[in-house]
């Protein structure tokens, strides 16, 4: 299908779940920014060392780290298309992505906001922290910072992609399959 899609939303909105479904059904390269950062941190690479503190506090990592993580993105965009999960998360990142894709004559096709309430996000994160091992899910202060980052950055991003005619909002509190069906309606 070769599209470039970005899935955005509060922590635990279902971004990775839907990105995985898009990978399975359409072969889009699944680019989870948070997953890639955690992999770098766990492997203690130079990029991981630069990202570690910000990720542990729930703040966005600097652009220089993001650029490093995005290294192979043009190749993946050309070969299979990409579903980004958790990227872009602020306007300079959206501009960086546009610049990179522009170099290969591509553009973001769809920016999808999975809308869930803060209460639902808090519930899901609490459930996930009991079953999973993400440190940034366990500390309420860090969870709060991540929600705050979303509140601060989301309006400009929504505005940006609305102006480009690429913005779609989907109710992320529906079931996984209902959300996926709605995403497919927009492809
Ligand atoms: P996530 O797995 O999407 O919840 O992301 C976990 C953490 O990784 C975030 O709280 C940030 O510290 C970092 N992160 C993920 N995506 C980005 C991004 N696009 N820009 C900067 N930092 C990010």
Residue nearest to atom 5 of ligand 1 (CA): 34
Active site residue 124: no
Kindly give the distance from the C-alpha atom of residue 59 to the centroid of ligand 1, in angstroms, as a whole number.
7
Distances (CA, A) of 156 to 63, 67, 93: 18, 21, 12
pLDDT tens per residue across span 109-155: 999 999 999 999 999 999 999 887 788 999 999 999 999 999 999 99
151 noted as active-site residue:
no
1: pLDDT strictly greater than 80: no
Sign of the Cα pseudo-torsion (187, 179, 75, 164, in order): positive
Burial class (CB in 10 A: 0-12, 13-18, 19+), 172: buried
For ligand 1, atom 21, name the residue with the nearest CA. 60
pLDDT tens per residue, range 44-100: 999 999 999 999 999 999 999 999 999 889 999 999 999 999 999 999 999 999 999
pLDDT for res 72? 85
Q: Buried b vs exposed e over 81-98: b needs ≥16 C-beta within 10 Å?
A: bbbbbbbbbbeebbebbb
């Amino acid at each position: 299908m070769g599209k470039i899609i970005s899935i955005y939303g509060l922590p635990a909105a279902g971004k990775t779940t839907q990105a995985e479904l898009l990978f399975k059904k359409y072969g889009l390269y699944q680019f989870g920014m948070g997953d890639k950062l955690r992999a770098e941190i766990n492997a203690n690479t130079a990029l991981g060392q630069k990202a570690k503190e910000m990720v542990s506090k729930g703040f966005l990592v600097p652009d220089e780290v993001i650029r490093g993580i995005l290294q192979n993105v043009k190749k993946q965009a050309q070969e299979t298309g990409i579903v980004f999960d958790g990227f872009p998360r602020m306007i300079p990142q959206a501009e960086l992505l546009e610049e990179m894709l522009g170099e290969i004559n591509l553009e973001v096709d769809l920016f999808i906001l999975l809308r869930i309430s803060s209460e639902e996000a808090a519930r899901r994160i609490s459930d996930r922290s009991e079953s999973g091992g993400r440190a940034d899910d366990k500390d309420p202060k860090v969870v709060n910072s991540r929600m705050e980052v979303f509140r601060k950055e989301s309006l400009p991003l929504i505005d940006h992609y609305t102006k480009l005619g690429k913005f779609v909002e989907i109710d992320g509190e529906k079931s996984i399959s209902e959300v996926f069906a709605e995403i497919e309606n927009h492809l």
